[in-house]
Structure 1
Amino acid sequence: MNSKIQQAISYLKENGNSNSTATILLPAGRFDLDSNTDQKGTLMFNGLETDSDGSLVLKGAGRGKTTLVFTDFEQSAVYGKMIKGLTLQGLHFTREHYSATQGEVVSTAPGEVVIKIHRGFPKPDFLWRYKDLGHYLRRATNSTTDPLIILTDNDQVKYGYRDGAPYPPEHVKGRQWKFYLANKKLDLEGKGYSKGSYVAIKAKKSGFPYEFRGGERLTMDDIKWTHSTRGIIRGTTLADGTRYAFNDITISNCLIARAKPRFDQTPILSASGGGIQLNQPDDLPANNILVKNCRLESTGDDNIALFNVNNVRLENLKSNNAFARSILVTSKARNLCGSNISVTNGVIENDKQEPVTIAECD
């Protein structure tokens, strides 16, 4: 597939083709894509540069028909730096494994909690990473069909590291695992972690489903993400110190979904990471962003995060059951408006955990 991508990029670079459209069509079916050795991503779009009317289109038969399974759990699925004119359409991006796990409380003690992992969900040592990033617990409702994050009196609880030193989850017996809390004095029994309580367990180990750094004119339409949901679209800095933004982004008709139940137990989370992440606080502002007709469900952080962005429209957006916030709107998000935004079992907040109201679009 990378060979086809590079052929298309080469065609668009030829004289007279920079305003053309090159389309790579994928039929219905499942495609297992192995690791792309020594590369940033499994599918690479570096070098794509078209003029204002040109584009490269990677198109499947529909997000319910063409599935791309990325077998390298930690490699970014799609990567592009300084790309101009890319469309991804009609595809389901997923991984071979669940990237979050869950279970029920067995017992608590100061600085510890023992959790029995639900059948069929990943063992905690599979998701553990030796980097102090994204290891958190949070209680959920006891439901086999639709477990939801509990919003009140239920802060995220950090586990796995104390004072910079790793404390990986420890196997006790059977499906029982002991989690070491960052606060060694904290007893979760007083925080609602009674025996049998459901707990969502996240660890940000899986790679990004997409990672774009610098460029313009990116469209993702009719896309579904499972297992790996936290995508990055942000600015970049080149080796000579020149900074570039990422502008003109459209994400439409998209779906972030929980995967199928395991042994009749629906997952609490769709993934350990968040959802659509637009830019970073210290990047140049990303301009002209449209997210429309999307349903974002149960990610392991913020379902959608707006950092240093300008001129953003959110239309017909449903955001449900995030581990953190349904919509994060930082103080650097400017000229933002929304229409027909639905948030269930979640909040719209800034990075200070203060409620935010999104202005109606004209």
Structure 2
Amino acid sequence: MTRTVRAAIAVAGAAVLSLSVVTTSGVAQSAPDSERRQDIKIGLLLPESKTTRYEKFDKPYIEQKIQELAPGAQVDYYNAAESATTQQQQVNTALAKGDKVLILDAVDSKSIQSSVDKAHAAGVKVVAYDRLAQGPVDSYVSYDNRKVGELQGKALLDALGDKAGSGQIVMHNGSPTDPNAADFKAGAHSVLDGKVKIGKEYDTPNWDPNNANQQMSGAISALGKDNIVGVYSANDGLAAGISTALKAAGMNVPLTGQDAQLDAIQRILVGDQTITVMKPYKPEADIAATMAVDLAEGKALPKDLVPLTVTNGSGDKVPANLLTPVVVDKTNIKDTVVKDGLYTVDEICTPTYEEACKQAGLE
């Protein structure tokens, strides 16, 4: 081998060595990392749009956080419009598209199990969002839903005061296919049982406000309006229908809710609803997005992201993160929904509610 050839080989070797050093640096890794993130495909499956939270808050917050963590990631969005069958079809579509992770808020936690099984068999991870689906779910984020019911029950008792023992209440527990509704109900009963008489109690399929309105009208007819001292409503959508029925009967009694919907905040201001339970959407959405990106990148979820383990209806143990809900009444609207950025004072205090806003210190 000539001296010139040996020199050329040495230069080439040095170049290779130099290249290997560069490619192990953070700068050189950015290109393949970026390409890897662009390959991330996440399916976001939400249950319905009658409850304003999903389109107004959950969807944009989740999408925003995913893009923050994994710029260029693809998010395929589906809304099941309250149909369990539609949601099963949407899971099939997401799998066919090649989504690597599904963020799933189940319409029906039981019937969706076959879809969760199918995703698991395909190596697709499932993050249960807000509602705990059955099947081999990889992680779960929600609020302490039994605590929600406890807070609602306590608020109702506090509002009833001495009337708790002198009349009856009506309970509207929400959709029987939503596992959260069972938790709300159990939490509320743990506080209310033995302290107040429950005259009528209803499940309301699909959380339909119109059904709640009809149920409340039926309860008023059956029990008599003078015998009803309060109403437990598991969420604000039901409370809207219930409030209309109460007004039609010339009644104004304590009424609970949940989700901190704008119309519920306005009802609270004018005394048509007593409280709502706020479950700040952004923390829940951010955690779900973080779980999804970590799982899409093949990472194990850190303990601080999933500090708990829960068991779903099919007996699977699921790593979980359960956040703490907050009661909102007329006295703390400014320090809760306004401070957290759910709504501005201008959004709440339209001309109809202007005077009530002044009285509540919302100016």
- Please state which band the TM-score falls in when normalised by the shorter chain: under 0.3
Higher Rg = 2
The TM-score normalised by the length of structure 2 is 0.28
The TM-score normalised by the length of structure 1 is 0.28
Higher normalized contact order (CA 8 Å, seq sep 6+, divided by chain length): 2
Name the one with the larger strand percent. 1
Name the one with the larger helix percent. 2
